[in-house]
Structure 1
Amino acid sequence: MKIEKKDIILESKPARWGTKAYHDAKKLYLSAFPANERFSMFSLLAMSLKTNVKFHALYDQDVFCGIAYYVESSSTVYLTYLAVNQDLRGHGYGSKILTMLEEKYPDKQIVIDIEPVVPTAKNYKQRVSRLKFYERNGFHRTDQKLKDQDGEFEALTTAKKLDKSGFAKTLKDMSFGFYQFKIEK
């Protein structure tokens, strides 16, 4: 899939075992997300064998710019992981990746989860910055929390209201039903 926007052409390539896209995506994934918030690489690859689960490296021309890991169901696209190459952050690539997903799935809610924005958090400024980024890109807060063995995360969506059952179905489908979670206020 190629999306042209402001002289940048994003190309999304599946991150399949042994490919350059896989090596690029793996390196960024391991550096961008804390260990306690990551699935194992084996799990990511196994889940992405399902046709509705996508693990993609994104390139601008031949320059690796980021990753997107997401799962699609009938009503929901759950963006599990989004990361931009550290050297390219602040240049609009994250926004362009989100725009690409919104254009590909115009009739579905796109859902992400972020660390709760609480003033006592050690990385409070980073959390505020992350929330503002997503709000600038059409996401809004839902007052719903995704709770799992790693903690509590705030769900954001592009829809007017979070479709909790659609979100839950997407999470179960992504993980073959093995992921243990709760969605609550």
Structure 2
Amino acid sequence: MMEIKELNKNSKDIDLVKQLYVEAFPKVERIPFDALLLLQERADIKFLGFYDENGQFKGLTYTYHHDDLSWLFYFAVMPSERGKGIGTKIIQRLLEKYKDERLMIDIEDVDQPADNSLQRKKRYEFYKRMGFVDYGLRKTWPGITYNIMSSGGRVTSDEYDKIVNEFWDLLQLTDD
């Protein structure tokens, strides 16, 4: 079973976590790592590390919580562990942890033409297998349309806008 540990600047694996974060997400999608750490001190944000039974770091999630809705903002698996079912185990543990909440993700729209359309479709199918439902909600941010999917119940357009705007407002505070 995957063990979950809250991550912070003093975590023993924080350098490995940062390395995975930088490798897993394009620069345009990355918030400065120090801001991620600072944000979790100021808001209901969980930066979690997932470890195997031998204590080896396998992946991370970064989730913003508001009322009964949590937004899975980042999710990454160590490159050496991809394709081995680790991502499935991490999402299963996350769904257990937040079983009394709705968990929301936004992923690049599978219906838009893109160089990585196969990757997008695989990601979409993965989340569907994990129990996330596509209720047809789409949002467009600087030229990219996202599918909004959720587990535990539907997320409305207003709820999505509210949680996203709150998160970005919090992020602006890290510039102080």
The reply to whether residue 49 of structure 1 matches residue 41 of structure 2 is: yes
Corresponding position: 1:170 with 2:163? yes
Count of residues paired in the alignment: 171
Helix, strand or coil at the partner of 2:104: strand
Equivalent residue number for residue 11 of structure 2: 19
Q: 2 CA distance for matches of 1:152 and 1:118?
A: 9
Q: How far apart are residue 18 of structure 1 and its match?
A: 4.4
Alignment-derived partner of residue 140 in structure 1: 133
Q: Which residue matches 1:3?
A: none
Query: Are 1:130 and 2:84 counterparts?
Result: no
Query: Higher helix fraction: Structure 1 or Structure 2?
Result: 2
Aligned to 2:85: 92
Unmatched tracts of structure 2, length 5 or more: none
Q: Is the 8 A contact 2:112 2:145 kept in 1?
A: no
Deviation at residue 17 of structure 1 after TM alignment: 1.6
CA contact 2:63–2:70 (8 Å) conserved in 1:
yes
Per-residue CA deviation, residues 135-154 of structure 1 (Å, 9 max, x unaligned), is 00001213222333473322
Judged with a 3 Å threshold, the aligned counterparts in structure 2 of structure 1 residues 71 and 129 are, in CA distance, closer, same or farther, namely: same
| Whole-Å separation in 2 of the counterparts to 1:46 and 1:152 | 29
RMSD of equivalent CA atoms: 2.1
Amino acid at match of 2:149: L
What secondary structure is seen at the aligned counterpart in 2 of 1:47?
helix
2 CA distance for matches of 1:150 and 1:18?
A: 37
1:40 to 9, 24, 32: 32
Give the 3-state SS of the residue equivalent to 1:171 in structure 2. Answer: helix
Find the residue that maps to 2:22 and give its secondary structure: helix
Residue of 139, 143, 153 corresponding to 2:146: 153
CA-CA distance at 1:121 after TM superposition: 0.8
Unaligned runs of 5+ residues in structure 1 are 1-8, 180-185
Distance in 2 (CA, whole Å) between partners of 1:87 and 1:40 is: 24
**Greater alpha carbon shift after TM alignment, 170-179 vs 137-146:** 170-179
- Amino acid of the residue matched to residue 142 of structure 1? Y
Q: Following TM superposition, by how much is the alpha carbon of 1:110 offset from its aligned partner in structure 2, in angstroms? A: 0.6
- Distance, in Å, in 2 between the alignment partners of 1:17 and 1:150 is 34
User: What TM-score comes out, normalization by structure 1 length?
Assistant: 0.82
- Asked if structure 2 preserves the Cα contact closer than 8 Å seen for 1:48 and 1:54, the reply is yes
